[in-house]
Structures are given as structure tokens and as C-alpha cells.
Structure 1
């Protein structure tokens, strides 16, 4: 009888202990679903893209059951902190500003930004004096927006809820230029009809103040076990060739080297 009571008491104690989502069997992955080719919806309503396939490979490596949750970019960190999901896998730059709110894994991409202009544009130099009064677009709540606000105070800055919306206004002639991540911009220009309007311009933007330390997965600061597990899984899929196979489905460059 005593042993039975003791067992029940121990079981009850464990039920009262807090269990972080990071230690649970399932992992919920937050992504945007509006940033092709990294994350987007297919015609039949499924999340797909480089980020999604990397997430699936990481889960397989960790032997975890994972699910994906779509979240608008503006709320992607607040939703993580509110426990809507356990990790953000959405091509997020690792920056000091974001490190104050979340912890990051090792980079799973290198990062660079670029200006994009109409293919007939003569613009090739980008500074505040040159762009004074000109309309420059970027997705809001991004490092691109931070970059423009810091260095182009005299330009007509326009921020949009999605990257597709920025692309549309540039293609329609409502913008003189936009700033975006290098790889998505290159893919848009080379592989879509809409993107044939435009070209990359100027030098790639690699200032770590804005592009940070690469692109990583974000977790809550208390979920260090999950962060370590993700790092181990990432190293494994890079070593066994899974990462490269996924990379080659979407890009001609290696995302770890940008070469």
C-alpha cells in the first residue's frame, strides 16, 4: 500500500513539473508561406519550398513528428513567443536585434541582399543622394526595411506585407527600385515571367549590421535542448548529402557558400 501511494505521489509530482514544447515528441515549425522559393503554398494548398523540405529533413534526422504552421511575417516572432509553434524556419536573418528576443541555431544559409530595378533602368549606384525622392520598396518588418530606413532617409520608402507585393509594384513601374534577399530576387528574375521585367543592380549588400550572421532557425530562449538538437541534425544532413540534394532542387548556387 505504501509503495502504491508513493508511486502515485511521484507520478503526480511529474505531472506538475513544467514541460517545454522543445522536449515534446512533436515539433511545430512556423514559416511564412509567402516567400517563394523558400516557403510558399502549392496550388492544392500545401506548404512547400526549400525551408519546408529542410524542416522535413531535420525532423526525419531527429526522428520527430513535425507539423508546419503558417504565420504572417509581422507576427512570426511574437507567435513563437506565444507558443504557437516551437521553431521558426523561414529564411530569417540572424541579427543582434532578433537575438534579444530569440535564440538561433547555426546558419543553414549565408545571407546577402541586393537592389533590383527595371531592366531598362540606368540606376547602378545606390546612396541616399542618388535615390533622393525615388520610390524604393521592401517587405515590412525585415532587415531590408531596416537597411532602407537607416541609409535612405530622403527616399520615398514603401513597405509591403509580402515579398510578392513588392515584386508586383516594381514590375508594374510603381517603384524605382526594391531591396530583397539576393537568392529569391535572382530566382524571381531568372525563373518567372513577372521577374523578366527586372535585373539585379549594384553590388550585393553583405554588411553584417543588416544581414547578420547568416540565416538561422529561431527558438525560444529557454528551449536550448531543441536548439542543440536542430544543430546536430543540420550538421548531419549537410554531411550526408541531404542538404545539397534539397539545395539543388531550388538553386544553382550553394546556399551555404553563395557560390
Structure 2
């Protein structure tokens, strides 16, 4: 009886340990920490921002530990394909990217707009931007759009490794404008002292083939198990109000949810 009891207890301990290990697994997340307020390093050097907080909430919901792997934006897909990370922080789920990777359900949507010095008269039109220097973050859908529609018409499209350097060159006068996600440039640049002389210029830039309906987590094709987990975690924080609280803290009442039929992903 004692031997049986000890065996039963030992088995229970092993089972509990296995369950604990399985529920507390570590997921490596590719992150570009030079993109406030979405991703950046706080005063202690730790990952912070809207996407970081949302991802942490999802990982908590699925009982996983997030481990952020910092790198440049254009290195994220290669890192994913090389299995250096398990998934990528939210980015536009474009047709081009879907050819090489898969995506989770949509996390949020933000429009793309031109930012320029106040009074410059610049608008997101190739004819009005001819001869101008327009900054973009390399590897982004903004770079793809500018190279396809503006560069052939004499616009100098200047790629940068990170968004902070784009802002620095705008302030220094080395750029006439930049094509960027509107929310990122508003809260990462325009609200700061160095951005006081700049503003969003013109309407949202749209292209159904280049721009996506929304931003989502990038995954390796065939990784259905992780995709399902992330979607379940996202659905949970959407339903319990956690996503809304995080969005409100960073962006106030701006509507950033993706509005579309439920069967379109």
C-alpha cells in the first residue's frame, strides 16, 4: 500500500511538473524596438509599447512567456524562416508577405499617410513630390508603395533602417517628407517638441494589393498549432476588454479595430 501510494504521489508530481512546463513555455518574438509608441525600449531598456503590451497580454492568456528578440524590421521575416524566432510582431498582412509566411487574425489597423513640414504644400501625389526626398522605413509596405508609384516619376525615395532615423532627418531638413503609418508618426513624432513644425499631409494612401486590411502576427507556413494559440489568446483579450484598455492607454479614442466580415482574414 505504501509503495502504491508513493508511486501515485510521484506520478502526480511528474504530471503536475509536465503540465506546468507545457503551460509556461517560452515563445521568441521578433521585435523592432525603434518604433514608438508601438515598440521601443523604456527607461530601463526593457521592451515596451502598444504591440509589446498586447503581445504580453496574449501570451499571458495562453500561458506562455514572451521573449523578445530585437532586430531591424527588414530582418524579421528572414529570422522567422531561419527559425531564430517563433513569430513576428504585428505587421501588415499583405499579399506579397503571404507568399512566404502565414498570419494570425488581425490585431489592428492604421492608415498610411505622408508627413511633411507645415506650409510645405506637399501632398501624397507623385506630381507634387517630383524632385523631393521622401523617407520610408526599409522593408515596409510604405517603401513598396513609394518605389512603385512615386520613384518612377522622379521622387527620391530614401530608405532607412528604422523610423527614428526618418524623424531625425525630417527635423534636420534632409528629407522633405516621409510616408509612414499615421498613428506611429503622430504619437512617435508629431506630439514631441521636434515634431511641432510637421503635420500629416493629405488623405490616407491606399492600394488594395500593396496595403493590407490590417496588421497581424507573422508565422511560418504550416505552424497551425501556434497560429491557433495566438488567435485564441487574441480573441480572449478582445472579449474581456484587455485589448481596448491597452489601446486606450496609448491612443485614446482612435478606432484601430479591423472592421470586416468575420470570414475574411
Shorter-chain TM-score bucket reads: 0.7 to 0.9
Structure 2 counterpart SS, 1:76:
helix
Matched, 1:208 2:208: yes
The 3 A distance-change label for structure 1 pair 81 and 24 is farther
For the residues of structure 2 that align with 1:162 and 1:67, how far apart are their CA atoms? 21
Structure 2 counterpart SS, 1:225:
helix
Tell me the equivalent position of 1:8. none
The 3 A distance-change label for structure 1 pair 71 and 189 is closer
For the residues of structure 2 that align with 1:226 and 1:23, how far apart are their CA atoms? 13
Matched, 1:56 2:56: yes
Matched, 1:241 2:241: yes
Matches for 1:1-259 after TM superposition, within 5 Å: 25-89=25-89, 91-123=90-122, 125-152=123-150, 153=152, 154-252=154-252, 253-256=254-257
Structure 1 counterpart SS, 2:108:
coil
TM-score under structure 1 normalisation?
0.86
Give the deviation of 1:246 after TM superposition: 0.6
Per-residue CA deviation, residues 146-180 of structure 1 (Å, 9 max, x unaligned), is 01001112111111111111111111211111100
Per-residue CA deviation, residues 59-117 of structure 1 (Å, 9 max, x unaligned), is 1100112211112112110001111110111x410101111111001110113100000
Mean alpha-carbon deviation: is it higher for 187-196 or for 127-136? 187-196
The 3 A distance-change label for structure 1 pair 52 and 211 is same
Contact 1:111 1:211 in 2 (8 A): no
Give the deviation of 1:206 after TM superposition: 3.1
Contact 1:189 1:199 in 2 (8 A): no
Structure 1 residues without counterparts, runs of 5 or longer? 1-21
Contact 1:29 1:86 in 2 (8 A): yes
For the residues of structure 1 that align with 2:223 and 2:23, how far apart are their CA atoms? 8
RMSD of aligned Cα (Å) = 1.8
Give the deviation of 1:121 after TM superposition: 1.3
Q: Which consecutive aligned stretches of 4+ in structure 1 deviate over 3 angstroms post-superposition? A: none
For the residues of structure 1 that align with 2:190 and 2:159, how far apart are their CA atoms? 24
Structure 2 counterpart SS, 1:183:
helix
Q: How many residues align?
A: 235
The 3 A distance-change label for structure 1 pair 97 and 24 is farther
Tell me the equivalent position of 2:19. none
Tell me the equivalent position of 2:262. none
